[in-house]
Amino acid sequence: MLKYRSDIDGLRTIAVATVVAYHAGLPFFGGGYVGVDIFFVISGFLITGVITQSLEAHGFRFTDFAARRIRRLLPALVPVLLVATLIAYVRLLPEDFDLFTRSLIGAATYTSNFVFLAQSDYFVEAADIKPLLHTWSLAVEEQFYLVAPVVFFLLWKVGRKRLMLPITLLLLIASLVSAELVLRSGAVAQAFYNPLLRSWELLAGAALSLSALRLPAGWPSALARLAGLILISFCTVFYTSQTPFPGLTALPIFVGTCLLLVASGAKSDPVGRLLEFSPVTYLGRLSYAIYLWHWPLLVLARLTAPHDWRATTAAILFSIALSALSYHLLEKPIRFGRILKSPARAFVFLAAFSVLGLAVSFGASNLYSAGIGRSGADDMTTMLSRSRNELAWFSLNCQKRLPGQENNFSICLDRPDQDAPTLLILGDSHGEHLIPGVKARWQDANILTITDGGCKILLAFQNRKPECDAIRDAAFDSDIWQDIDHAIIALRWNADFFENAIETARWMHELGITVWLVTPMPEYSPGISTLYASATDASLETLTSLSNENLKAWPFDVRQQLLERLGTEAFIRVIDPVDLRCDTKASCQLFTPEGAPMTFDESHLTIEGSTWLVKQFPDILAAD
């Protein structure tokens, strides 16, 4: 057995505190997600120590190692999955519940990172209401520990311990470099969820354990602890959700965590005494359970009382209380008792757990579909369906697309009537959601679309995603422009590409195209679908009031900046959705006169919303 280090429990407390604070939206914790990376390094450090100690004692058995992991992880996880299922069942709309059942299967089989990778194109807001989103990190760890013991065992057999450290360092560097290259390519979700690209953080802890490096007590350890805490604090405070991560930007977390792990004589300095302070170490022992419980409870708070600090506070306090119960009533008795002492019993428990997860998933899905214990689907639910609305953006039977974009269904260059005027929609998803309305209003025109979610298809603009630049290059190198009469540029705006958009509009204007630019849409947080799922009173008046309370300020600010910039560009004709939908910054129209929701998430228009809004546009085809 490894010697217990109370300062590591203190470090676990720092890790879980940063994650919980980040998820709760507390100020100065914009980079609190780095707590997961601290956990990765600690886990690699401790588990590698267990493996090498067993190898040195000639007592390493894969079955014993696996049974130890089962006893450590499953007792706390089972009740969390059951509670998360209940939350999802009573709160989520059908589309989100369907995604939840897939994540439940992923959590029960430790593959949820791949489940969420497959869902990574789902709109960002949906992440806030996925009760099991946080289980991706457990999956990454366990996938690592399916491979690491085998690699270490083989290296030990070949060259004892002398080969383990250099090979681990080589694998670490390969993983880190690959993660950085993938991140720079724009494949952020791959860099985040792929276990091969996250394994360098676990390998960092492993390498530290294999090096057996420990600083002497006194000022070397005191300085190391202080420097480590400063590095972690810097990333927690100054990193944001926009920071490219993980990759080289995660190195300060790796260095900071390692400095805290190699320091000794913890009680000799203030940081060390903090890490070994009894309440801090106790929370560290609860940290795994706190990590499991806090997120589904925060999702429940978000669905029940959006932006209510009291609900958020209650969720955090309740997660700590449940974690204490879980630790004392489940984790300790099962982990250290005789219930799962033998590997055979542990594996039976694992099998039963996986079967239970599958059974609960299928059972809840069938009950949900049958409407048992909850209201069935209604007209509002149907109109808020993301897949239903997104499908209306696509041209599935289009005959002409851009070269290399034959399977991109939101691009279509068909001109069935050569004598009819031609109107192009150019943009990202805020261009896509105008497609149903534009097609409904100008049915006799040729409607061309060059749109793709997240892509700024603008001259000279460098997108983070290579596929966006491929669309841009194919579009502006094509021969379609001489046949276009009018163009709508519609984007989810920020100041970074104002000039690119204006230059693109000028280029079109010089070709004789009349250019219309759609300014920012009103945006909500949370969106209407989340509010509708959680509202006890789902009347249109109540939903409108709740939504207006949660209007985002920044789109109005960006709109004002854009309008001021466009004031000097007379050749660009402006369409302003805020002017068409809003009385003030705190009052915007959320429903059509017929009672249909204008948007289905934070900002994207429903089919009905698109149809109504485009009817309010100027008659583009009649313009000079």
Return the higher-pLDDT residue of 93 and 422.
422
Helix, strand, coil percentages (3-state) for the chain, rounded to 5, are 65, 5, 30
Share of the chain above pLDDT 70, in %: 93
Lowest mean pLDDT among 340-344, 448-452, 471-475, 542-546: 340-344
Q: DSSP label at 124?
A: G
Query: Domain locations in the chain?
Result: 6-370, 383-622
Query: What is the pLDDT, as a whole number, of residue 556?
Result: 94
Interval 228-234 mean pLDDT: 96
Q: Which residues contact 185 (CB under 8 A, 6 or more apart)?
A: 466
pLDDT digits (tens, 9 = 90+) for 133-160: 999 999 999 999 999 998 888 888 887 6
Question: Given a cut of 80, is residue 534 above it in pLDDT?
Answer: no
In sequence order, what DSSP letters do the residues of 382-402 get, joined into one string?
A: HHT-HHHHHHTT--TT-S---
Interval 211-227 mean pLDDT: 91
pLDDT digits (tens, 9 = 90+) for 106-140: 998 899 999 999 887 544 556 778 999 999 999 99
Instruction: Name which of 178, 276, 614, 237 is nearest 439 in CA terms.
Output: 614
Architecture of domain 383-622: 3-Layer(aba) Sandwich (3.40)
Q: DSSP label at 599?
A: B
pLDDT digits (tens, 9 = 90+) for 2-47: 788 899 999 999 999 999 999 999 999 999 999 999 999 999 999 9
Lowest mean pLDDT among 276-290, 364-378, 582-596: 364-378
Interval 519-545 mean pLDDT: 85
Interval 308-325 mean pLDDT: 94
Query: What is the pLDDT, as a whole number, of residue 75?
Result: 84
Give the confidence band of 196 by pLDDT, cuts at 50, 70, 90. very high
Query: What is the pLDDT, as a whole number, of residue 92?
Result: 85
What values do phi and psi take at 587, rounded to 5? -150, 105
pLDDT digits (tens, 9 = 90+) for 460-510: 998 888 889 999 999 999 989 988 999 999 999 999 999 999 999 999 999
Interval 508-524 mean pLDDT: 95
Question: Given a cut of 60, is residue 273 above it in pLDDT?
Answer: yes
Give the confidence band of 355 by pLDDT, cuts at 50, 70, 90. confident
Query: What is the pLDDT, as a whole number, of residue 586?
Result: 84
Output b/e per residue, 422-436; b: 16+ Cβ within 10 A. Answer: bbbbbbbbbbbbbbb
Lowest mean pLDDT among 288-297, 374-383, 509-518: 374-383
